[in-house]
Amino acid sequence: MPAEGLLPGGWLCVRDMGMKTPRYTPLIRSLPATVPFVGPEVQERERGAAFLARLGANESVFGPSPRAVETMAAAAGDLWMYGDSASHDLKAALAAHHGVTPAHLVVGEGIDGLLGYLVRLVVGAGDAVVTSDGAYPTFNYHVAGFGGVLHKVPYLGDHEDPAALLAMARQVGAKLVYLANPDNPMGSHHRGAVIEQMIEALPEGTLLVLDEAYIDFAPDDCAPVIDPDDPRVIRMRTFSKAYGLAGARVGYALAAPGLIAAFDKVRNHFGMNRLAQAGALAAFQDQDWLRTVLARAGAARVRLGEIALENGLRALPSATNFVTIDCGGDGDFARAVLARMLARGLFIRMPFVAPQDRCIRISLGDDAALDRVAEALPNALAEAREGQRGAQQAP
């Protein structure tokens, strides 16, 4: 029965004594209480010890530009003010770099935040969305959260398959098609010309979501040439990878002005904090530091390939800031290797879906971190193989 009473000031309080939980929507009640990724801090608390090397989230252990750090420190005294709701200065710099107008850009809380806004704009209950099975799960999480229906196609070898994505989009009338180039979790990439051909072949009314989080690490021919006013594609970029600002959560999208303007209908206008905006702008202006990071990343990529080869494994070609290593068995074997690496204090991850789950994925690190990988991997492999032999011999 409802209980009524007066609060100070005469406000009427009505409380339903039988209502024990919020009245969630049917959609929310149907969703599992899961998150796309379990963060390293959560895992450290569960295991009761800190990781010795943090190589699972594709962060840049090389850090952000010192200029960005100094700028953010100097701006800390201004935190009593909200950040610029339009991210004006950062958008102006990005627009000049890309040869577009600020009206072609939206800045948001990382690519993850922008994907959430985009799905909210486009996807309603029952709407079809196409992606690759095993591709970035946070996108799937947003689609499910707004009631969309995911249709997945398999990878072709270790690459996302543009032809299969297009065929599925035509079959189901997809509103969105998601493709990462370069790809996570495999590290592979398509040439820009392939993406350009894919855009031309999109079904009417289908929007290509082109996730370019790792584009800074990729060969020059990876970036497609796209008319900034083309309404068929939206490109996502981030400061979390090459610029080393994962903790600041800064991303941006490039698209036709009409689509960009629609973001103002749903985005958190004060979601970008003042320090993040200042740091991203300073990092973007320090291209010398970016070149240093890319050089160090290239050396680390070579080193991880050598470590894989020393252990009889194959490192897949990578256009990213991580290396995916084929463990030479099935998903169960790779999971055993992963578990033993985690037990040795190395935070790494692996693809979720077969047959890509035969691999483990290791972010690029500094010399100390890669030394730990080189030390731990032989024993982890030996233990995983011994466990596999024991399982095969068991009656």
> Rounded distance, CA 359 to CA 239, Å?
27
Torsion angle of C-alpha atoms 290, 291, 293, 298, degrees rounded to 10: 140
Per-residue pLDDT, 390: 77
Q: What is the pLDDT of residue 236?
A: 98
- When pLDDT is averaged across residues 17-45 and rounded to a whole number, the result is 85
Over residues 93-128, the pLDDT tens digits come to: 999 999 999 999 999 999 999 999 999 999 999 999
Residue type, 102: P
Token pair 């800031």 in the structure block, residue: 321
pLDDT at site 392:
72
Determine the longest span between alpha carbons in the chain, in angstroms.
Answer: 76
Mind listing the pLDDT tens digit for each residue in 258-299? 999 999 999 999 999 999 999 999 999 999 999 999 999 999
Supply the pLDDT for residue 3. 44
- The percent of residues in the chain predicted with pLDDT above 70, rounded, is 95
Residue 5, pLDDT score: 47
CA distances from 118 to 94, 139, 143, 318 (A): 20, 10, 10, 28
In order, the DSSP letters of 351-364 are -SSTTGGGEEEEE-
Distance CA 38, CA 42 (A): 7
Closest CA to 281 of 64, 81, 68, 69: 68
The confidence score (pLDDT) of residue 211 equals 98
Domains defined for the chain, CATH in brackets: 40-60+288-388 (3.90.1150.10), 79-286 (3.40.640.10)
Provide the CA 182 distance to its chain's centre, in angstroms. Answer: 11
Region of residue 350 (phi > 0: left; psi between -120 and 50: alpha; otherwise: beta): beta
Residue 1 has pLDDT above 60, yes or no: no
Q: Is 340 helix (H, G, I), strand (E, B) or coil?
A: helix
pLDDT of residue 13: 46
**Whole-angstrom Cα distance, residue 314 to residue 305?**
7
Position 15 scores a pLDDT of 52
| Residue 9 pLDDT grade (very low, low, confident, very high; cuts 50, 70, 90) | very low
Average pLDDT over residues 239-246: 98
Write down the pLDDT at residue 394: 67
Q: What is the band of 389 on the pLDDT scale with cuts at 50, 70, 90? A: confident
Cα–Cα distance, 254 to 237 (Å, whole number): 8
- pLDDT at residue number 105: 98
What SS3 class is residue 295?
helix
Average pLDDT over residues 218-245: 97
Give 3-state DSSP helix, strand, coil % of the chain, rounded to 5: 45, 15, 40
Residue carrying the six token digits 């960009």? 260
What residue ranges in 73-165 does DSSP mark as E strands? Answer: 105-108, 128-132, 149-153
Q: What is the pLDDT of residues 334-380, one digit of tens each?
A: 999 999 999 999 999 999 999 999 999 999 999 999 999 999 999 99
pLDDT for the residue 6: 46
What is the pLDDT confidence band of residue 388, given thresholds at 50, 70 and 90? confident
Percentage of the chain modeled with pLDDT above 90: 90
pLDDT score for 37: 83
